[in-house]
Amino acid sequence: MQLPPDRNYLETRHWRVTGWLLAAVWLFFLNIPLLAALHQPEPWRRVVGAATLVAFGVLYVFVFQWARGRRLERRGIPVARAWAAVALLLGLGLAGIPGTGGDWLTTLVFVAAAAVFLLPSRQSLVVVALAALTPPVTAALVPGWEAEGTVVFAVLLASFAMFGVTRLTQRNSELQAAQQEIRRLAVAEERARTARDLHDILGHSLTVVAVKAELAGRLLELDPARAATEIADVERLAREALADVRGTVGAYRGISLAGELAGARSALAAAGIAAELPDTAPELPAERDELFGWTVREGVTNVVRHSGARRCVIRVEPGLVEVRDDGRGPEAASSGPGGHGLVGLRERARRLDAAVTVGRRPDGPGFLLRVTLPVDQ
């Protein structure tokens, strides 16, 4: 069962909304220069002050989200573009001086924070130092402007806070990349195990089959009775090899609910996904036990490969088995055709008149796979 991949697995919808809020909430501190602009006696000053502040706020949020997206995707931020963004923010702050007066210094808080988020450490430190020194220097040089100690403190505090946000974003990106790599390795390990088992089984069986077939061909005229015996052995070996192959690739033999629960626990642990599974499997009729085992295998395969989940819960009752996670969930409706694994599961369920439910979890984000049938069946 395959789900349509999310365009950007590193950034879920929750984190996108959080990112916008994290950038926009700081714009509250622009109320000081905005109020100064709105109280200007001349209309053109009010327009210039308000327009430049609005443009400043929009640009700040856009730059923050652009840089944050690149960091989450583990792509570098071009230094030239970073300096251009910092310079443009500073330019908008300066352009608003006719409307904001000395209160334009508040924009330096955002310029310093943007520099910390965009630029390399040493370069951002230079920008922060200049932003912190600007208020006392301009107060000494420009008549009528007062030294704003609160602005200096705000510049330093915002820079320190943005440094923490930068490191948090970086660590979050590295963690998600590591989880993705673990999932990829878990799938690769399973494929390698299957290939190795197939090689071991078929390598031995087909070698013996070839030897016996060659021997039977030579004995066909010399000793027909022994040749018939060898041909019978060839048939037996071929059937045993076929059964072993089916068991190895998880076909129609050897699958059970207890075995799949144990395999699910191992697979989820290898993928770094917290698992909540029953300790023991209930006693079930053979056909139902096999169907429930297939359901657990299909559900866990989806969780490991496609969901991006952090937690998986498997619930088993005499008439129900359910696999749910807290990942991205399906993009299409649950009535869609699904992947090959889901089609096969529906076919097996149909033989027992069982109902298969596939779709979003009703109690929150994530994916739900459930198979139900009457308990008295």
Q: Give the domain CATH number at 312.
A: 3.30.565.10
Q: Are residues 167 and 269 in the same domain?
A: no
Q: Are residues 290 and 256 in contact, defined by beta-carbon separation less than 8 angstroms?
A: yes
Residue 199 inside a domain? The answer is no
Q: Which of 117, 151, 178 is the last residue of a domain?
A: 178
Q: Are residues 169 and 261 in the same domain?
A: no
Q: Are residues 22 and 150 in the same domain?
A: yes
Residue 3 inside a domain? The answer is no
Give the Cβ contact number of residue 207 at 10 Å: 11
Domain that holds residue 108: 13-178
Region 103-115: mean pLDDT is 86
Q: In this structure, what DSSP letter does residue 25 have?
A: G
Dist CA 3 CA 112 (whole Å): 43
Measured at the alpha carbon of residue 140, what is the angle toward residues 134 and 144, in degrees to the nearest 5? 105
Dist CA 104 CA 36 (whole Å): 9
Q: Are residues 19 and 166 in the same domain?
A: yes
Check whether 38 has a pLDDT greater than 80. yes
Place of tokens 């699910």: 264
Residue 1 inside a domain? The answer is no
Retrieve residue 312's tokens.
């998986």
Residue 136 inside a domain? The answer is yes
- As beta bridge partners, residue 314 has 323
Q: Are residues 108 and 150 in contact, defined by beta-carbon separation less than 8 angstroms?
A: no
Give the Cβ contact number of residue 279 at 10 Å: 5
CA-closest candidate to residue 19, choices 56, 63, 52:
63
Residue 250 inside a domain? The answer is no
Residue 145 inside a domain? The answer is yes
Q: Are residues 63 and 169 in the same domain?
A: yes
Q: How many domains does the chain have?
A: 2
Retrieve residue 60's tokens.
């700040």
Q: Are residues 46 and 158 in the same domain?
A: yes
Q: Which of 178, 195, 211 is the last residue of a domain?
A: 178
The model's pTM is 0.45
Residue 190 inside a domain? The answer is no
Check whether 368 has a pLDDT greater than 80. yes
Residues 6+ apart with CB under 8 A from 275: 264, 265, 268, 269, 311, 312, 313, 314
Q: Are residues 164 and 269 in the same domain?
A: no
For 52-95, what is each residue's pLDDT tens digit?
Answer: 999 998 898 888 888 877 776 777 788 899 899 999 999 998 89
Residue 81 inside a domain? The answer is yes
For 41-58, what is each residue's pLDDT tens digit?
Answer: 898 988 998 999 999 988
Cα 98 versus chain centre, distance? 47
Q: Which of 115, 143, 178 is the last residue of a domain?
A: 178
